[in-house]
């Protein structure tokens, strides 16, 4: 039977996978946003929509670069959960 420790361990692993998968794209978005903000400050262009297109393009490039790694992380975690499914049921 599944107990509290197993549930907490699965939750910790899930949060870790979530953070490690989201981190590269969030960092890319943060860096691009910072560069665009500096550009806006230097040129005195205060257009709010200027940041969206470069961020979206950067996220797409980040997905192309990190997408296979992210998918492999998720597949590995899901496979591990399914392989231990009989242990969880008792």
Token pair of 13 as six digits: 């692993």
The CA–CA distances, whole Å, from 15 to 11, 21, 44, 58, 74 equal 6, 10, 40, 25, 12
What is the pLDDT, as a whole number, of residue 85?
Answer: 86
What is the pLDDT, as a whole number, of residue 35?
Answer: 94
Q: How many CA atoms lie within 13 A of 10 on its CB side?
A: 15
What is the pLDDT, as a whole number, of residue 88?
Answer: 77
What is the pLDDT, as a whole number, of residue 86?
Answer: 83
What is the pLDDT, as a whole number, of residue 46?
Answer: 80
Token pair of 48 as six digits: 């709010």
Residue with tokens 């392989």: 83
What is the pLDDT, as a whole number, of residue 51?
Answer: 83
Q: What is the CA angle 26-30-35, rounded to 5?
A: 150
What is the pLDDT, as a whole number, of residue 87?
Answer: 79
Q: Which residues of the chain have pLDDT under 70?
A: 1, 90
């Amino acid at each position: 039977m599944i107990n509290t420790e197993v549930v907490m361990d699965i939750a910790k692993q899930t949060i870790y996978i979530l953070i490690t998968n989201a981190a590269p794209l969030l960092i890319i978005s943060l860096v691009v946003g910072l560069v665009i903000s500096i550009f806006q400050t230097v040129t005195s262009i205060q257009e709010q929509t200027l940041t969206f297109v470069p961020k979206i393009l950067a996220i797409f490039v980040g997905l192309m670069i990190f997408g296979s790694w992210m998918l492999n992380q998720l597949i590995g975690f899901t496979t591990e959960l399914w392989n231990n499914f009989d242990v969880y049921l008792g």
